Amino acid sequence: MASWKGTNVFVTGASGLLGTAMVEELLARGANVTCLVRDWVPASRLVAEGLIARCNVVRGELEDYDLVVRALNEHEIECVFHLGAQTIVGTASRSPLSTFEANIRGTWILLEACRELPKLVKRVLVASSDKAYGVHEKLPYTEDAPLQGRFPYDVSKSCTDLISLSYHATYQLPVAVTRCGNLYGAGDLNWNRLIPGTIRSLAAGERPIVRSDGQFVRDYFYVRDAVEAYLALAERLHEPKFHGQAFNFGTEEPQSVLEIVALLQQACARPDLAPIVQNQASHEIPKQYLDCSKARAWLEWRPKRTLADGLSETVRWYRDVLG
């Protein structure tokens, strides 16, 4: 796909961090975007910045098969970005049923709807996660590592991933899977996540809260780089060799929680506000980071922004929003 101009695209999870950034970039590239939106969130960038007014909007849930088929059919969708999910680890632990419904059932409903419309839908990208790999002694994860989630959120992503690849293997659906590190950037309103929560605390002159012992290690991935990774993959999905493939996307620069907090203290000019380390986190994997050599080899892709640049841009957005 040399150009997205005039392409009919369907985005699930459009009001989330990644979904909004994806919608914004697709609109900038001239795509006709249809969003599936469950909850109306006035504070989200999708609504607050007027992006939703430039899209077709379908209100409803991923688990509604008839609604999804209707949306794909009536809006003549060619390319699907399945980004919708319940993404909060703590919420998943408290409410596994709703998480499994959204993340697992929602995935097979969407894929089955795409299978029913082969003359329309030509590209399907499904957001899995590095959490799908579960706990491994050998790191970084490569794409051939077993998917062995144990906790509710991780299991939901392992299932999302496997179901997606099954639809290619069984029905030749033109689907590919992305496994990204921890996304951050402008528009994340889940304040219990590390980066937005820390920025809000520092902006209020309060010590940030660290739920874990501060030593958990993750690959922190800027959302604008993630969008560009998704689009790079989507633009190659006309090639059969990309069908049924999974790709890791991240920075390959793992950081501990306390290292991220220190960088945010520096970016916010608040080194005096030391974090409060609660050491109460549960149902989380201690260390996770990705090998992205497949994305470099197959897509000639690599992130454009450093961690410092991404955090700086993110802090500027929150400063404007938080006043």
Are the CB atoms for 131 and 149 separated by under 8 Å? yes
Instruction: Specify burial of residue 239 (Cβ count, 10 A radius: 0-12, 13-18, 19+).
Output: exposed
- Which are the contacts of 58, defined by CB distance < 8 A and separation ≥ 6? 34, 35, 36, 37, 67, 71, 75
Helix (H) / strand (E) containing 81: strand 79-82
ω into 254 cis (within 30 of 0):
no
Helix (H) / strand (E) containing 308: helix 307-322
C-alpha to C-alpha distance for 285 and 88, rounded to whole angstroms = 14
Q: Which is nearest to 201 in space by CA: 261, 281, 280? A: 261
If you write DSSP's letter for every residue of 149-196 in order, what string do you get? --SHHHHHHHHHHHHHHHHHHHH---EEEEEE-EEE-TT---TTSHHH
Which residue among 133, 153, 184, 222 is the active-site one? 153
289 classed as catalytic:
no
Check residue 51 and report its DSSP letter: -
If you write DSSP's letter for every residue of 279-298 in order, what string do you get? ----S--SB--B--HHHHHH
Compute how many other C-beta atoms are within 10 angstroms of the C-beta atom of residue 165.
Answer: 21
C-alpha to C-alpha distance for 19 and 310, rounded to whole angstroms = 18
Q: What interhelical angle do 65-74 and 106-115 show, nearest 10?
A: 40
**Three-class SS of residue 317?**
helix
Q: Which is nearest to 9 in space by CA: 44, 55, 67, 42? A: 55
List active site positions. 153
